[in-house]
Amino acid sequence: MKISVIGCGYVGLVAATCFAEMGNDVVCQDIDGEKIRALEGGKVPIFEPGLEELIKKNVRAKRLSFTVDFEKVVLHGEVIFIAVGTPPRDDGGADLSYIENVARGIAAIAKVPKIVVEKSTVPVLTGERVEQVLKCGNGNAGKECIQHMVVSNPEFLREGSAVKDFLEPDRIVIGTNSEKARAVMEKLYAPLKAKIVFTDIKSAELIKHASNSFLAAKISFINAVANICEKTGANIQDVAYGMGLDKRIGASFLNAGLGYGGACFPKDVDAFIWIAERNGYDFGILKEVQKINRLQRALFAKKVEDILWVLKDKTIGVLGLAFKPNTDDMRLAPSIDIINALQKEGAKIKAYDPEAMERAKTVLRGVEYCNSMYDVAKDADALLFLTELDEFRKIDFEKVKKLMRQQVICDGRNMFNPAELRSLGFNYVSIGRV
């Protein structure tokens, strides 16, 4: 099939590459010429396991190409995926101006009916607007009327396993009011042999926001329970295990820690609250989800302060900066708030993250970046684990103990066994475990 993808960001790039891998003829467009030149030269602007090899393979096989030419991408595909950014606005809503511009562009250029697919995460009722823009008369007066078809096909990929998530999805959601578009989308995804949910556009849009918000709520819920565990002496890992065995609850996303960060959950929860409000509903439960998430970071910084007492001129080592393992993504990472809070009290921060240090340098000021975990531990008054990287699990605590000034470990991801760490002579704190 001839496929066009507009937007070479996270979602667009992964989708375009995977559609090419599935045997389609894919053109992927972005307005950022530098990005396109880099991609043409085989350089991938994001860190995502397996993606670079797959891009190179499909470019070589001539199934995947990149362009800045909007007209070319619109004319190419029978199906056009819109995967442009929907950045958050100050009021929590999503900025949909890029989506609107693309829809207008398609309406102006396309000469035959296209299947126009929303791939970016958008609030419910966006598809309706896209349909209006694509219709004749909406800025296209005088042009011969072409009946484009609109589909909502949200993406559920996680950073770090995006290619696998795309090619082996739990489900594919296809929302459309057009029989033809439904049949074409079904054919496009058939090779994945995945469960497909067919529905209308609005319901598909809501499935995305509701899914991400539900997962964020699960995380905040378990973090709230972790706080009760700390106050009462219970163990959050046992509590989560006991809860998760109930099939109705499920074991995943019940890891207490520093809460969620990244480009999706915070933004999607905000946008869901916003669109609910616009439609006359106060989504109070989600406001609380966000509040718990913010509090979790502040409580962790407070824990460090409680142990070290005066933070001024103390040296604090930080292991892990990215919002989760195996990514260099620093967007809304807990490390940012925690480091800022400690710096505000006068602490000196040393840090190490195998992937994220370059990006961290653009958002964190006054941090001494180190080349290894042990460089961070040297002369530190406390060592903080903020991202659960496998490399950190193998740390030699006997060595660390000798390097540190004070033997304090603050584990924000419950990576280690409290009894073991205490028997080694550390003052050890974690989340929801005493």
- Residues making contact with ligand UDX (CB under 6 A): 155-159, 212, 219, 253-255, 257, 259-262, 264-265, 323-324
Please tell me the distance from the alpha carbon of residue 41 to that of residue 34, in angstroms, as a whole number: 11
Q: Give the CA angle between residues 278, 281, 287 to the nearest 5°.
A: 95
For residue 285, give the amino acid letter.
I
Cβ 251 to ligand UDX, closest distance in Å? 9
Q: What is the DSSP letter of 162?
A: H
> Where do runs of H (alpha helix) occur along 309-383?
334-344, 357-363, 373-377
| Minimum gap (Å) between residue 382 Cβ and ligand UDX | 21
CA-nearest of 55, 58, 71 to 6 is 71
- When the beta carbons of 117 and 404 are compared against ligand UDX, the nearer one is 117
Task: Work out the widest C-alpha separation in the chain, in whole angstroms.
Answer: 80
Q: How far is the CB of 105 from ligand UDX (least distance, A)?
A: 26
What is the smallest separation between the CB atom of 377 and ligand UDX, expressed in angstroms?
23
Output 40 or 238, the one with its CB closest to ligand UDX: 238
| Beta carbon of residue 222, minimum distance to ligand UDX (angstroms, whole number) | 7
Burial of 144 (0-12, 13-18, 19+ CB in 10 A): exposed
Q: Which residue is nearest to ligand UDX (CB)?
A: 264
**DSSP symbol at 382:** E
Give the H/E segment covering residue 21. Answer: helix 10-21
End-to-end CA distance of the chain: 57
**Cβ proximity to ligand UDX, 66 vs 81, nearer residue:** 81
Q: Would you say 127 or 257 has its CB closer to ligand UDX?
A: 257
CA 71 to chain centre: 30
Count how many residues are written for the chain.
434
CA neighbours within 13 Å on the CB side: how many for 189? Answer: 22
> What is the arrangement of strands in the sheet containing 79-82, beginning at the earlier edge strand?
64-67, 25-29, 2-6, 79-82, 115-118, 149-152, 172-176, 196-199
Rounded to a whole number of angstroms, the minimum distance from the CB of residue 126 to ligand UDX is 17
Between CA 335 and CA 344 the distance in angstroms is 14
User: How far is 170 from 66, CA to CA, in rounded Å?
Assistant: 29
With CA atoms as reference, report the closest residue to 113 among 83, 79, 87: 79
Q: What is the DSSP string of 248-263?
A: TT-STT---SS---SS
Q: How far is the CB of 334 from ligand UDX (least distance, A)?
A: 7
Residue (19 or 156) nearer to ligand UDX, CB: 156
- Whichever of 67 and 387 has its CB closer to ligand UDX, that residue is 387
State the nearest-atom distance from the C-beta of 265 to ligand UDX, in Å. Answer: 5
Do the Cβ atoms of 149 and 176 come closer than 8 Å? yes
Compute the distance between CA of residue 122 and CA of residue 126 in angstroms, rounded to an integer: 6
CB nearer to ligand UDX: give 364 or 386. Answer: 386
Residues annotated as part of the active site: 264
